[in-house]
Homo-oligomer: A and B are copies of this chain.
């Protein structure tokens, strides 16, 4: 087996994790947590999303968070946007990159954005152009690329067509998102075999959830295809807190641990991320779903 020598983790806990929490985290706490993450060696952090404060109250302080965090040199700070207004807010908040996407599932797209697949894809192209004009780097993705909680299976050809459209936009980075943790390793392999030739030199990021326990197995399948960028969330944040065991994003610490054991470099200090997760757990008043974050904080028992 051949694996990449180096992997980049994009920390998405402050966005994908926090948006799933019903407890409002204070702006100073958010800033301290993000600064803790950027001090761990992580080179890319998605710090917020620019969405309606009515729909997502947790993200109402997006601008204040962006204004308050330390901008560590060498770290790329990004935010998520769902429309042109969001892109403009990301630029106003002096982020480095904006994260935009459309869905491969018509039902998910209509529920999430009110637009069907074609309209949503056109909107993404307009957002990419606007972001470029504002000096933002762009990561553009396909949500529900491996399945949809509403529709079940998703036609891979639809995903590949959306990718072709994103390549035409000349974005900096392309994302395939398993938004609800439905992908399995065989499916990841098949999709990447078809997708990577379409992308050429544009780097691919995989966004995986561990909802059904297959998160790191999917990372493995992707590493075998040469993928070297993954979204992860500290402590495995992002799961529904009311379903025991139903984790969300793959945990940054668990992924770091596996990569380190496989001699794949990341430049990130696991214990520093685990310390942020421990602080987060105290704020939320519950244990986080990740595994390696707990083990990092106590001597290992046989």
Contacts and interface: CB of A to CB of B under 8 A. Distances in A.
Given A219-B217, A220-B220, A300-B149, A245 B185 contact: no
A212 B1 contact: no
B263 A212 contact: no
B291 A211 contact: yes
A215 B216 CA distance: 8
Interface in A239-258: 240, 243-247, 251, 254, 257-258
A41 interface: no
Contact of A210 (B3, B186, B240, B291): B291
Interface stretch (A52-60, A157-165, A168-176, A282-290): A282-290
Contacts of A288: 244-245
Nearest to A3: B186
Nearest to A187: B261
A262 B184 contact: yes
Contacts of A263: 186
A48 interface: no
Given A1-B186, A186-B262, A302-B180, A213 B214 contact: no
Contacts of A224: 1
Interface in A130-163: 148-150
Interface in A271-302: 287-295, 298, 300-302
B295 A212 contact: yes
A100 interface: no
A3 B185 CA distance: 11
A221 interface: yes
A19 interface: no
A59 B187 CA distance: 42
B149 A240 contact: no
Contact of A213 (B108, B211, B246, B291): B291
Contact of A215 (B211, B213, B294): B213
A111 B243 CA distance: 38
29 contacts: A1-B186, A1-B221, A3-B186, A108-B302, A149-B300, A150-B302, A185-B258, A185-B262, A186-B261, A187-B262, A210-B213, A211-B291, A211-B295, A212-B257, A213-B254, A213-B257, A214-B258, A214-B261, A216-B216, A220-B220, A243-B295, A243-B298, A243-B301, A244-B294, A245-B289, A245-B291, A245-B293, A245-B294, A246-B295
